Structure 1
């Protein structure tokens, strides 16, 4: 297929596809003339992966390049690939040298019985979060972490079980790469939906007898936002 067809099937504009080609996120097509190239199903699939990581996951071009590098590395294990993907998704996080926050993070992972890896991006990101909480006076915020751990261990197990359903290592690597990006985005969305639902149930105004049902309920279509109602967090 020509680049215009590649654009039509994926919804990615031609200039963006050319940019991805220049950045090495897509392999070059097969030249059919000095100014034209042919693209196959592999290009179509890779372009959809890139689009998902950029548009849904919000990854930078550099991060996408790192993820694709892990995906294409035949020597990289699934565990190491996951580490590369998480580094690309999370980045360095809110790095901090706050010693109190560092100790809070260390005590937390030790309390869970997890391996203590102070150089990991996830650990450093947690230290940064705890330091920020301390800076704004949320001294009780670390008390939330044990509850987060209880919720996240089954989620992590579910993620890993999903990877193991892949029929080949290549397919598993793809799930690790794109599934991490999409899974994180989905988790944030579901958490917000759940929090909004529980907040509505606990709000005495929302539970007021005789209050009309939410607009659009049952139709499958969103209605207009209620006055004073925060739709998005």
Structure 2
């Protein structure tokens, strides 16, 4: 397809596509003339991913480039490739380890990971921005007087594990590892708000069932 068709099918303007090409977010098309190139389905899929990251997810261009670099790195195993791409997304800043709430939160997070037998999460705890985000969130609750401990987190973590199983089952329906990791990144950026909204709707529904709506 030509650039015009790529723009029409993707919903991304020609000017924006050219910007993504200049920034290295989209591979050049196959040259068929001095000023003309042809693009394929791979370009369309990548353009949708770039749009999800930058236009919808508000991910900075430099960060999007890093995420895409991990997705394209065929030398990585699937778990490392997926983890590297997700870790490259915007994350929480480093917590203040002198903060008593942070120390308490880290203890409770470590306790729940141990109780669940999540060995990979425990081994990567000093490196993982996902672990850091959890510690920061729990610390904030503790600091504001809403204590969260391992016992409270454990059933929620088990529900999240079930969601993760469903995520990977869905991811594995894509034909290549690259497309699978792309799907996981899109899920992290665009599908997590769906889960958040479903959670709140479920709370509304359960409240109405227990207490009525009058």
TM-score (normalised: structure 1): 0.75
- 8 Å CA contact 1:95–1:127 kept in 2: the answer is no
Deviation (angstroms), 1:24? 0.9
- 8 Å CA contact 2:29–2:38 kept in 1: the answer is yes
Deviation (angstroms), 1:92? 3.2
Deviation (angstroms), 1:71? 2.0
Q: What does 1:50-199 correspond to in 2, within 5 Å? A: 50-89=50-89, 91-96=90-95, 97=97, 98-115=102-119, 116=122, 117-119=124-126, 120-140=128-148, 143-199=151-207
Specify the SS of the correspondent of 2:193. Answer: helix
Number of aligned positions between the proteins: 205
* Counterparts of 2:141 and 2:46, CA distance in 1: 40
Deviation (angstroms), 1:75? 0.9
Deviation (angstroms), 1:200? 3.6
Gaps (5+ residues) in structure 1?
A: 209-233
> Which structure has greater helix proportion?
2
Gaps (5+ residues) in structure 2?
A: none
- 8 Å CA contact 2:112–2:154 kept in 1: the answer is yes
* Counterparts of 2:49 and 2:205, CA distance in 1: 32
Deviation (angstroms), 1:52? 2.5
Quote the RMSD (CA, aligned, Å). Answer: 2.5
- 8 Å CA contact 1:53–1:181 kept in 2: the answer is yes
Deviation (angstroms), 1:39? 2.7
